[in-house]
Structure 1
Amino acid sequence: MSILTGFRDKSFLDKISILNEIATGKDVAELDDLLELFKNPLDDTSVDYMVVTALNGVLSADEASAVRLLETEDEKLRILCIRVCGEFRFKNAVPAMLRMADGVSDADLLFEVLTSLSKIGGEEALELYRANLSNSDDLIAVMSIEMIGELKDEGSISGLKAFVERNNEDGNFEVCDLTTWKAVEALASIGTEESLSFIVENLHHRNPTVRRVVTDSLTSLGAAAVPYIKKGIAPGAGKDDMILAANVLGFIGDKEGLDVLMDALEKGYSDDSSVKYAIYEAIGRIGTMKGVISLIDGLDDEDELITVAVVTGLDSLVNAGVIRKLVEMIGAGGSKGGKILRAIVTARAVNIFGGLYTEGKIGRFLMNAIAASKDHVVHDAFRDKLREMGGAEAEADIARLPERAVGSGRRALAVDDSKSMLALYRSILTGAGYEPTVAENGQEAYGYVESGEIFDVIISDMNMPVMDGMEFVSKLRQTNGFEAVPVIMVTTESEYSQQDLARKTGVNDFITKPFTADQLKAKIAEFMD
């Protein structure tokens, strides 16, 4: 006799106990009675919910019945069986679900079928995914795109490219469609020469979110993407393409990418300081001894920001040869020597400091520069290094460094994925009398806002991984207390076309790379009393 006999007349607790026993034991003998309870519910929310749970448990142990019931006229039962077949990956359900999807006009039903087929896996549903790439329902289109990528369907490359191209057209580029986002990821997953070359061609897509997705996708591919990315660092390549390609190569950190970057410097592919800065920073980010020669050559550049990037990279690669070269260059005096000393302080290059500390006058000049800094983070970093080195002289120099004072002045937030840029911002902002907070992407920056931090001015890069500058500013403007806080966005010269879009998100003004400390201070002063 079924334990469900006389079920409707039992007490609430008995009903729950019985259904729980069936759900756990998965006794297929109870299927018919469960179906009757499912089709004719008791109108008790808790009991009816447990009937569904028990039915799920039984069908999970009875693939044949779950597949058979896909043909039922009962819509709710059909949906339940579709989900069970997907959750438990019943391969035998695929033909029935494909028949169900053929010509279906119910978007919700089609989405349920596609979801379950995606869980079951396999290429049997490939034609269905292809047919729904451009479905008017975005959720269905996105599901189809994701599966096209998972199945690495080369036949869908042209359709995926169309999403990205359409999102780059006039009137479409201001918002990144979810379909475009997923199309980029699918193209990266397919990973053919055609798909990867196309992604690299869109490194500087007109939509900043698409640019970020392209960067993230290529970075995730790692070394496999390098042969295609290097096409963006070549004679005749656009300035923005070269900057973004260099950034990605730095994120990937592959030795073949290092060769591409060093070759670009050696052959002088660009004399633009923003491009050279991106290349030097990428070389430093890769962090191998092979790149030391290029980094040391970069110390000859007159651009102070490039020097900070070079010193940041060299600090993790310090050896006796690097220290000898630095002693030689600083010892020669002049503006170059002073520039290198300032960069060591700005970048908080404690390893280089450790090598130069015992070099007579050079060590003293460097210590004087550290003591003169107004940045407590600089003082803390070098104080820790001096304690590590130990000795009477180090103790005396520690005493020269002021302890952190309680902040009472204006506060600034600087957001950039470049460590050397953040170091420079700290130096400029503290020199201008601000207490700086820095973040490596928009998400990290918004975390400070969510935690209750208050800022008088915000400086943000445009292109960043995780969350780009425009998305960050858009979220910021929807946050109480930040509707009118001045936001200055940092761009390159060729990003003028993006400024209208940035202003719509809430950016107040722009400053173009490369810029000097005085230029940034003057720009901030325009918005502060």
Structure 2
Amino acid sequence: MATLDDFRNKEFLDQITILNEISGSKAPEALPELVELLKKPVGDTSIDYMVVNALNAVLSNNPDKAIEGLNDAHEGYQILCIRVVGEYAIQGAAQKLVELASSETDQDRLMEVLTSLARIGDDSALPVFRSFLTHEDAFIQSSCIEALGKLHDPESVEQFKSMILDSEAPDRFEVCDLTTWKAVDALAAYGTDETIDFLVQKLHHKNPTVRRIITDVLVDIGSVCVPPLMNAFEEGDTDTKILTANVLGFLRDRAGADGLVAAFDKGLADDENVRYAVYEALGRIGSMKGLICLVDGLSETEELILMAVIGGLERHVNPGMLSTLTTLITKTDEQAERLAKAIISSRATSIFRALYENQSAAEILINTLIESKDTEILDDFRTALTEIGGEQAEKDIARLPQLGAGARKALAADDSRSMCAMHRAILTDLGFEPYMAANGEEAYEFIEQDVDFDVIITDMNMPIMDGMELVSKVRNTPGYEDVPIIMVTTESEADQQNLASKAGVSAFITKPFKPDDLKNKILEMTE
């Protein structure tokens, strides 16, 4: 075994070799001299760092020594031992850590102790974690919330609920603080009927970021959330119905689709916003009952809702649906025109390929496609026609216009496929080159790539990064202080729009809307 004798006088490379050997062997005999080197460093940053690594390795293999080190008077060594017992979940250290936490006054050291206690996961630490739930430091408080959630502490459930309820107070709801976020995660960690029901009830929290976090945890929990979500859909207001339908769509559980269809049949989706959300959810799930409901939705006349129907059917093309759609689109009436436009705008190339076999349907679709001003849409369908092949397809390809990129650029963010398709159609009609994103994070990546936008359109409620977060980041980006931002939302409460206005939103459009409404708003903001 490598020796630490006369270590300080050895050559640099020899010192590295010795410490590497000790780290590999984890030999307990080296511990006293390593501790001495820690307390009285060599002075070379690289060597001193390797001493710490070697100590960590040795202590990990000698838990009694690590626990003993928790009482050491040397602060650096004590902190190292605190980290080691946590990193390797040394159960015998829990009681000593509890004692340290109860008497510690330095917040940084307290955080170290609590972090290790949380990693060990011993129930003996529950009283300590509870005692810091009201600590003035948000990080300490949040660490304890997280630990209690992982340990499924029954005594903390009501306190976590209260934290979330209190976060909706008039002077607090505008910001999602760390403790609220952790309280949501903690309740999700329990996964009980009680905690899931509560999270579903708070799905329409006043803060958009909290709404996103609750949506994410419900999706992570999975199918057990379907019954309480359906109860909330049936009993909730319009905003709640929309949000629960969205979550049910993300869950992709057939029971959720069956529940939405049943609610639809009861007349609980008469509101256009709700109907739009239900169609989007059914398209994501793809159950038999859901597809039948989507086929019935081919009679919808509102452009945006019809695009949600087509977008859903595009994911689940089948002969029965194609037969119905062929019949409808070859009637050459106003509804046939709407359907053709929805297929093209939604970039429903699978449906297009199937309908193209019918000469009348093909002619209607090609005539609609020729009117498009979107280069990406034209390229998608040009590719589809190339794959179809044949003399007629070649003639139709020749009829398609060749377009250049728009002079101005616009960014649109929405997690809805049909809504993004609508934005594309509107923006290209106005001569913009559209950049599309499924959430705020994707949208902001374009800005980080130094793309200069003349207008930004964003949804409020989106996964990963919601519209409020996106707006805040954009407004804090040099050069984007005055770029028009239009928020498209289903939110009906005035305080939500007030919150968005404070963040920097320039104007609002409420879903579902007619294309001309958004066109006029864009022109108003950019001319």
Normalised to the residue count of structure 2, the TM-score between the two structures is: 0.96
129-138 or 8-17, which deviates more: 8-17
Q: Matches of 2:321 and 2:118 in 1, distance apart? A: 55
Alpha carbons 1:145, 1:186 under 8 Å: kept: yes
- 1:345-494 to 2 correspondence within 5 Å? 345-405=344-404, 407-492=405-490, 494=492
Shift of 1:116: 1.3
Q: Which consecutive residues of structure 1, in runs of 5 or more, have no partner in the other structure?
A: none
Shift of 1:144: 1.4
- 1:183-262 to 2 correspondence within 5 Å? 183-234=183-234, 236-262=235-261
Q: What CA RMSD, in Å, does the superposition of the two structures yield over aligned residues?
A: 1.8
SS at match of 1:327: helix
1:229-284 Cα deviation digits (max 9, x unpaired)? 112210x4211000000000001100010011111211111421011100011101
Aligned to 1:94: 94
Q: Matches of 2:483 and 2:17 in 1, distance apart? A: 59
Shift of 1:12: 4.1
78-87 or 34-43, which deviates more: 34-43
Shift of 1:408: 4.4
Write the letter of the residue equivalent to 1:323: L
192-201 or 27-36, which deviates more: 27-36
Aligned to 2:328: 329
Shift of 1:489: 0.5
Q: Matches of 2:317 and 2:40 in 1, distance apart? A: 76
Q: Matches of 2:359 and 2:56 in 1, distance apart? A: 78
Q: Matches of 2:10 and 2:313 in 1, distance apart? A: 78
Q: Matches of 1:394 and 1:279 in 2, distance apart? A: 36
Change (3 A) 1:50 1:373: closer
Write the letter of the residue equivalent to 2:454: D
Alpha carbons 2:269, 2:278 under 8 Å: kept: no
Aligned to 1:143: 143
Normalised to the residue count of structure 1, the TM-score between the two structures is: 0.95
271-280 or 185-194, which deviates more: 185-194
Q: Which consecutive residues of structure 2, in runs of 5 or more, have no partner in the other structure?
A: none
Change (3 A) 1:361 1:129: same
Write the letter of the residue equivalent to 2:316: L
Q: 1:524 aligns with which of 516, 522, 525?
A: 522
Shift of 1:456: 0.7
Q: Matches of 1:315 and 1:53 in 2, distance apart? A: 56
Alpha carbons 2:406, 2:431 under 8 Å: kept: no
1:367-422 Cα deviation digits (max 9, x unpaired)? 110111111122112112112211111111111123352x2411111110000000
Change (3 A) 1:370 1:4: same
- 1:296-315 to 2 correspondence within 5 Å? 296-315=295-314
Q: Matches of 1:110 and 1:304 in 2, distance apart? A: 58
Write the letter of the residue equivalent to 2:349: V
Is 1:339 the counterpart of 2:338 in the alignment? yes
Alpha carbons 1:412, 1:455 under 8 Å: kept: yes
SS at match of 1:458: strand
1:94-121 Cα deviation digits (max 9, x unpaired)? 1211122223222222211121122223
Change (3 A) 1:490 1:4: same
Alpha carbons 2:2, 2:22 under 8 Å: kept: no
199-208 or 127-136, which deviates more: 127-136
Write the letter of the residue equivalent to 2:449: S
SS at match of 1:299: helix
Q: How many residues align?
A: 527
Q: Matches of 1:292 and 1:50 in 2, distance apart? A: 62
Write the letter of the residue equivalent to 2:208: P
Alpha carbons 2:373, 2:403 under 8 Å: kept: no
Q: Matches of 2:38 and 2:433 in 1, distance apart? A: 64
Is 1:3 the counterpart of 2:37 in the alignment? no
Write the letter of the residue equivalent to 1:471: E
**How many percent identity over aligned positions?**
49
Write the letter of the residue equivalent to 2:190: I
Aligned to 1:107: 107
Alpha carbons 1:117, 1:125 under 8 Å: kept: yes
Shift of 1:450: 0.8
1:25-45 Cα deviation digits (max 9, x unpaired)? 322112222223322334443
Change (3 A) 1:334 1:2: closer
Q: Matches of 2:17 and 2:260 in 1, distance apart? A: 68
Write the letter of the residue equivalent to 2:102: D
